[in-house]
Structure formats: structure tokens, C-alpha cells
Chain A
Amino acid sequence: MVYVIGCHLTDFNRRKDGSSYRDWVYETFEASLAMSSLERKDIDTLIISTESDFFTFQLNPSTVIADDLGLHKVQIVRVEGGGASGQLAVHQGVKSILSKQSQHVAIIGFDPSASYLPSETVKQLYSNSFDSLTDGMNGVTATALYALSIQLFMKKTGLNETDLANATINNRNNALHNPSAHLKLKHNQQEIFASPVISSPYRRLHCSPLSDGAASLILTNKKPLNRISAPNIIGIGSANDMVNLGARDDVGEFVSKKEAMKKASSMAGIRANEIGFAEVYDAYAGAQFQAIKALGLSSDFLKDFRDGHFSLDGKLPINISGGLMGQGAPVGATGVGQTATCAMLLEGKYHKNLQIKNIPKFALADTHGGVGTLSAVSILKSNI
């Protein structure tokens, strides 16, 4: 079994305090280690998730981080899979424990996605996070590709611009109660409809921000006797779809997510409708709906959304952290942070105003890279 005995997220925001990503990594690791009751010398494996050396100005960052954290003679792995990097790092940690290669694993995700490079440079780099021969040459942005995908999804499902606005309002409202969130904003529909169109139907306020920040987990292979409430990770799964949108069987559907969920559910031995809480990858307002449908979390996602079932007091709360749209997205940290959020919530240790009173049995963390190109999901189980 795999137990989550330490978890932490730093603030996600645009840092203006002169701190470095190496400070954030130190901060989050120390916090997780303290929560785990382990000592530094107990950690035998370090797994690092960071999307791009362009952001950090540091090649081979894992070894530098290990030195900063005082971890020596440990296994070190760096995991990268675009936006899915953090969740894939979680998977690597789980696999390492289940294969008995490791006993105590530290997983740290980070990226200085906001403050190190000008936003125009970041946008240019992201054009190359799709197929650099085709989309990269065209200069098409991530927002434009997501927009093409959601347009077909909207035509097919009846999702409309009011739903996009309401999803934005909900997630940013949740972020108001999350002290570490990047965009703690109270929006109304008029503000959203008045914000500039980046790539129709997506307006500026429908987009998640790129953030600075780090998140961490400590996993272990034995039930901690001093904390029997520590949750388990019981299912992991990942899958891909074609990078070029036009080559996909269905441009509007996140098929990779469906496949990833199938694998994770099978490993966990549960059905998607048993999930009681989910953090899903809402890089854009519409992506949240594409995710919910693909993951099989609802048989009628639009009705459930409009009826308020995905809100904090609904039957299946989703993105109560604020999601990427509210909490923010330091790319390598995102998936680690989503899993950490699930773990805290399942143990009743989440932020006071966001903690679900009736703790669900199962939670889901869902992450992807590209436009649902590489999806990775993890299922956690409560021990309360």
C-alpha cells in the first residue's frame, strides 16, 4: 500500500519578494517532512517535477535540489510530461514504492512560470509545447488550440458561454477561501463577458494564470502507527491522444482522460461514480467540463453543474481549491498540488472554509499536458 504522510503547497502567485524557486522547494519539502514525522535521512527517493529548464535557467535541476534539501545517496528521478508533469511524478512515486525500490519517497513539483520570463516569451515557448513542426510554426497559442477543441465540445453538448462564465465565477469564489491561491477574485457575469476575447469563446478571465510556486508529497509503504488517518493512493493511470488536434477521432473530447481514468479505476477497484471529490485540470473554463465528462464523474455533467452539484456543498465538489483558474498553475507543481489537496481533504486537514464536512471515501486528482494530450489521474482513499 502507498500512504500519503506528508503534503504541502506553497503560495501560488507571481513572486515579487525576490525569492527563488529553490526557496519554495525548500519551504514545501520541510513542511511535508515535518507533517510526515520522518527524518531527512529516512527519505530514500527524490522525485522532481518541473516542466522546462527554460523557466528555471537550470539544466539538471534535480541534483541541485537534492543538495539544497540535504538529501544524499538517494535515488533521484526527474519527471516531465508538460502540464501533466506533477501527476506523472506522483505516479512515479507510487510505482517506486509498489515495486519495492523505495520506502519513503519525497515528490516535489515546482516551476517559476510567472516571474522569471516575460509573458510574451512564455507564450512563445508554449507554442512549442504542442507539435513544434506544425502548431509551433504556425504560432498558434495554447488558448487558440483549447478554443478550437471547446467549440466542438459546446456544439455537441449544449455547453454555453454562461456556463463558462459561471464555472469561472465558482472556481475563483472557491479561491477566495484558499490562502495560497493566486487569483482570489470575486467576479460577476458582466465582468467576464466584458473581458477581452483571447481566442473565441475564451476571454481573458476564462484562462488560468501561470504561477510561481511549489508543492510536495511524502509517500511511504507502511501504515504510519502515529497517524492512522493518512490516506492511500489506490489507483493511478495515464494515457495519451494525438498531439495534432485534427488527427484525433473527436477533437472536442478528452479521450486520453477517459483511458487514464479507466486504468486508475481498475487499479483502485472502484467506479468513477464512487468518487466524492475531485480536483480537475481547468486550464480554461471549458476544460473543466471536458474533464468531468471524460472522467465519467457525472452521467449528465451539464445538468449537474447547473444544479450546483459540483459546488462546495454539492454532491460532488469539484475544484474547491479554486482549480488552476483560481489557485493558479506553477506547471510542475500543479499535479502534485492537486494530489496534496485531495490528501489533505481526505484527512480533514484542508483549509477551514473549504474542508468538506462529510469526508468522502474517494477523491480524484486529474492533470493533463497539451489539450488533453497526455492525461494522468490518481485516486486516493480516505482512512477516516
Chain B
Amino acid sequence: MFDFPIFEMPTIGLRMLMAINAIIHTFVSHGGAVGGSVVLALAAWWTNKRGDMAGYETVYRLLMVFFIITTSVGALTGIGMWIHANIISPNAIGGLIRVFFWKWFIEWIVFNFEVIILLFWFMTWKPKALTPQGRSSSVKLGVFYAASSWVTMLIITAILGFMLTPNFDGQPWIDPEVYPGNVNYNNALFNPTWIPGLMMRTFSSIAFAGALAILWTWILTTFSKNEEIQETKERMIKFFATIMMVTVPVAAAFGYYYLLQIPEAARAMIPTAMMTRAFADKMDLMHTIISGIGGTVVLTTIIAYFSPKRMPYIAATLMVSAFLLFWGYEERTREFIRKPFLIYNYMYSNGIRVTDVPYLNKVGILKHAIFVDEDKKVVKEDKSNLIEVGHTVAQIECRVCHTVNGINGLKALTAGWSEAAIRNRINNLPGGGTPYMAPFVGTEAEKDALAAYIASLNKRGEIK
């Protein structure tokens, strides 16, 4: 991290910048592409099989909504994940691309199938809807689209699993004492949380897509001027609810299985991850929220299944909102429990490799900080640049998680602390209180500078 130019995101911080893109992407890619493709292909097959042409038309209208959102917001936030990762942790994404280059390349080839089939499916739907042969070939396109969407998820979950559990039961993916690092690609790929994570995601995506389809069916059929389309509301909602009745419990079961595969140290972080640190102790509240989200999904699914005609708009919205909350929490938790690492046991959250720590502790984190001005690297004898040096250390080691004044701001976190208290705190960052923090890396002089800088934040503007 120290060897790249420094970019700070004021107020919202880098983590939030990434989270905005990541959460939008998860919503769209899981609900729109992976789950949506399965749900829409099933619906097209079902309506066509029953000769229900009005239902078939409703599926087309749903596909249009899914097509627009997936190909614009979904695809571009997917590329956005890379660009955001570049900005926030170039060393981490650079490492991941070295390890997973060919898998990503294969994923890209599958993406081609996915996008081209989707374009074909959507753009040829209308002319093909006229004949039975056309419709059956259209349904086939839907099935291929669903299959290729799923394969892209298959590969990306391997990479996410790798970041959490890179080692395959004692078989390391890399020898830290060799340069250039020779990667064991098989151990990296076949990591213990890959398949459980994939299964959990697959089924909850289909369930989520079911919820989205119910909401959109409600909107499209209610506001349609065509009576036949209006009448499809009941049977289409019932159909999507049936999909959910199956996938919701399966997703929950795989979710539990996934949980069991997570390393113990990471699992212990879940309460903090779910809320913020202040809520870490309020397990009751956490359980209430989880049951609230789960209960809403189950309850609205049951309503949709047994009373599709009277399914109120508010229930459909609640259903989708519950899923949005679920994905938001799932993503936050999965990202958080990996702390203090970005790639478990290999690289800390701030992009510093574990192997580099002893050397950097000896020579200082700023010695090789190439893009930092020379006069901000070493504390001068008269200590005139102490705070500037401390600021640089903070930019390099703290900025990924902390802003100065905004979210998780250093200023508010240390209000009322003396410089000695701050320095003591820096000494045991990953200690009992905050096991998710990466340790301080650098020399004692740099530690002094960092403490002086953080202490200076609350002194500014004080009337002397």
C-alpha cells in the first residue's frame, strides 16, 4: 500500500465508497442476473408449456425490466468493483489477479455467452413469440442464459472464498519465504468456503429474484391497460411464490452450512460485524433484527403463496426490502469477519503483507513510500515535521478504514485522549478490545509521529 500514490476519500471513507458499489452490484448481479435468469427462464418455460400467452407476455415485460437493470447497473458496477479495488487496495487486487488471472479470463469468456445470449433472448423474444417452435427455442435461450450466469458466480465465489480461507487445511497456497511467490493455484481455488458460499448464494439469489419478480409483476400487471395481462397477476405471483417456498429454506440450510466452514477467529467477529462496535454486546438486538429479516421473508412468502390475488403492494415491497437488508448485512459481515486481514494470514486490511512487517518495523513504513514527499518521511531533529510525518503514516496505514472527520473518524474516536493514551492504544491495536484492527507497522519514531498527529486533530481550533 505504501508504494502506491495515496488517495483519500473524505467524510464517507474508502470502505463506504467500495460498499456503495459492492452492495449495488450484489443486489443486481444476484437478484437480477443469477437469480433473475433462473426465475425468468422457469416462468417462460411454465407459461409456454401451459399455453398461457398472456402470462408469457408478462414474463417478457419482466425480462425487459431485468434486462435494463442488469446490463447497465449490474455490468458496470461489476467493472466498478475492480476500479474501486484498484483505488483502495492496489496490492490486494493486483495479487488476486496474479492468482486468479486464468479463472477470471474464463469467467470473462462465460460473460460473453451470458451477455450475448441475454441480448438474443430479449431482442428476438417478440418475433419468436409468434410460433410454438420460436417459443420453445426462446425458452432454450433462457435456460442457457441461466446456466452461464451461474457459472460466472461459480468462479467469483471461489475468489471471495479464497480471501477468507486461502489455505486448504494446512496446504499453503504460497510459501512466504520465496520471491517471486510461487502460487499453488489448486489450493487457492479449492478453498473450504467456496462451495458452501456458492450454494448459499445460488439459492438465496433465486429466492431474492422471486421476490423481485413478485414486486415487478405486481407493478406491471396492476398498471397495465390490457385486461388479459392484469389477470395474470394472481397466477404469476403464485408461481414465483412457489419458487420461493422451495428456495428460502434451502438457502437457509446452506447458509448455516457456510457458517460452520468459517474459521473460528472469523466467526467470533460476527457480532461486531453485524452491527457496529457499540452494538457488539447487544446480542438480543442482533437476534431480533435477524429474526425480523428472516420472519419478514418467510411471512411475505407465505402470504404470496396462499393469497396471491390479494398480495398487498406493501407486502411485496417489504419482501424485497427484507432481502436488500439481508444482502447488505451478508456482504458487510463477510467483508468484516475477514479482519484484520484482506487475504487471510497474508495481507492486512490496509494492504500491508504479513511477511513485510518485520522488515518495515526495522526500516520504517515510510522508507519505501515512493509517492510521499521526502520532507514528510523522516522526523527532523527539531521535530518540526513530526505531525506531517504522522499524517503520512495515518494516510498509509489508517485511511482504508478511518477518515479524519467523517465515518469512523480518528478525531471523534480519540476525543479527550491524551497523546500518551493514544500512543498506548497504537501499541496494542489488535488486542482484546479491537481484534479486527491491523497492527501498527513501522519504527518507534513513526509511532510517536502518528500519536502526535492523531492527538493534534482534537487540538486544532482550541482557544489557548
**A, B in one complex:** no
Interface, chain B (partner A; CB < 8 A): none
Interface, chain A (partner B; CB < 8 A): none
